[in-house]
Amino acid sequence: MEKNVAVWRAMRDDTYFGFAGRRKKRRSRLIAGILVELSLLLAVGVIFFYEQGQTAGRVVEATADGYIKWVDFNVSYEAMCKAYEYDIETYGTQNHLNWIELLAYVAAQRGGSFGVSAVEDIRTIAERILAGGTTMEEAAGDLKYYPYYLEAYSAVLGGFVGEYEIQETAGGAYVKKYGLKAFLPIAKGFPYSDYDDFGVSRSYGYQRQHLGHDMMGQVGTPIIAVESGTVEALGWNQYGGWRIGIRSFDRKRYYYYAHLRQNYPYQENLKVGDTVTAGEVIGYMGHTGYSTTENVNNIDQVHLHFGVQLIFDESQKEGNNEIWIDCYALTRFLYQNRSAVHKVEGTKEWKRDLDMREQTEESPVDGSGGCTGASESRERFPLQGSVTFSCWRACAASGRGSACGCAGSPA
């Protein structure tokens, strides 16, 4: 009997201490896991504040001489689409939301980062403004770097959205619109492929970074002027081959189109000093370049090298202070607006189907746009009757509605 009791007690103690040991091990693992998570959170916090400090340092440095010296354009395609959507949908209303201001607000909040929450951040501030809960001026008032991002993003996107006139049929009358007036640099109907290659290594001549965006396609593909402007450069460059440089009218953007076609690189009669309109054919894709001798195909892959340089001061135009931005998200965004072209019989030329001109007169304006990838621009906010654009916008800003006395009424 005593032996059985002893055995039972031994088994009980073994079971108890076994359970206790396992509980102790589980508790130790739990504590270790919590400590690891706390360490990770601390590391993330340190990285976040470090990045915020780095961003602040870059912004301070970038504006030290009274003008912006550097821009990291990290705005995502999705963020541009959402901001543009709000701009188009609120056009002609009292609370017209400016898409660049929305993007600058999110950038100032996030230190220039556009992660997965950026679209929701845009939606949140836009809906607050539309609901009358705040204004952009009030919301951005406490954001120290909002003015920097607004100026920087205005330099990038300032010529993309606005009023313009375009034909709806070849040779037909011009229709006044509001929306995306910048174009993809590849003509509609011509295939191409691309990826985000900004900053990758290049070695011809010297070791350097690739400061542009390559769009691979076929020899002779028509190249389109992204934005209206003035031709500043035309001719041979040993790196870019046959190339075109076009300066925007506000002189903030310099568009660079390189590696154009051998023997017939440009639109006929194009020369330095010419004014070009967004959507025009300006040249043809090829693979010239990497040679001090003109008209040589030394590039293996047929492609367009497309670059965008920002210029806040003329000292930045050439030299070590040049600012080139990543164009990949921009080209994705511009894909929705491709210029349709046709071949001019008996020549090597292609011409746009529908002519366009910048908006210069006060008149009714239709809204067009929509970030829908391959979809075409569409009319969204026609102004009916004889209402003039200037009268309606002044009326909307005053909040007086139909009491303004403008002729006609908004649809």
Q: What is the pLDDT of residues 6-60, one digit of tens each?
A: 545 555 555 555 555 566 666 767 676 676 666 665 654 444 444 444 554 455 4
Cα angle: 340, vertex 302, 286; to 5 degrees: 65
| Model confidence at 120: pLDDT above 90 | yes
Of residues 183 and 399, more confidently modeled: 183
Q: What does the alpha-carbon distance between residue 258 and residue 241 come to, in Å, rounded to a whole number? A: 6
Q: Are 278 and 337 within 8 A, CB to CB?
A: no
What pLDDT score does 39 carry? 64
- Mean per-residue pLDDT for 306-332? 94
% pLDDT > 90, the chain: 65
Backbone angles phi, psi at 117, to 5 degrees: -90, -5
CATH number of 164-358: 2.70.70.10
Could you tell me if 250 and 196 are in contact, meaning their C-beta atoms sit under 8 angstroms apart? no
Closest CA to 244 of 252, 229, 322: 229
Q: Which tens digit of pLDDT belongs to each residue from 382-401?
A: 322 222 333 333 443 434 33
64: confidence class by pLDDT, cuts 50, 70, 90: low
- Between helices 77-89 and 118-130, what is the axis angle to 10°? 20
Question: In the predicted model, what is the mean pLDDT of residues 287-302?
Answer: 95
Please report the pLDDT score of residue 342 as a whole number.
97
pLDDT digits (tens, 9 = 90+) for 229-259: 999 999 999 989 999 999 999 999 999 999 9
- Give the DSSP letter of residue 318: S
The token duo for 384 is 């009916």
Rounded mean pLDDT, 200-212: 66
Domain boundaries, given as residue ranges, for the chain: 1-62, 77-157, 164-358, 366-404
> What is the average pLDDT across 274-283?
98
**6 or 193, which is more confident?**
193
- Please calculate the CA angle 185-246-324 and round it to the nearest 5 degrees: 80
Q: Smallest Cα–Cα separation from 126: which of 104, 155, 97?
A: 97
Residue 212 pLDDT: 85
Q: Helices in 63-195 by DSSP H: which ranges?
A: 77-89, 99-110, 118-130, 136-139, 146-157
Nearest to 82 by CA among 42, 45, 117, 41: 117
Per-residue pLDDT band for 362 (boundaries 50, 70, 90) equals very low
Q: Which residues contact 95 (CB under 8 A, 6 or more apart)?
A: 129, 130
DSSP H or E segment with residue 393: helix 389-398
- What local confidence, expressed as pLDDT, does residue 152 receive? 96
Give yes or no for a contact between 88 and 369, defined as CB atoms under 8 angstroms apart: yes
pTM above threshold 0.85: no
> Rounded CA gap, 103 and 75, in Å?
8
Q: Token match 């689409």: residue?
A: 81
pLDDT digits (tens, 9 = 90+) for 128-154: 999 999 999 999 999 999 999 999 999
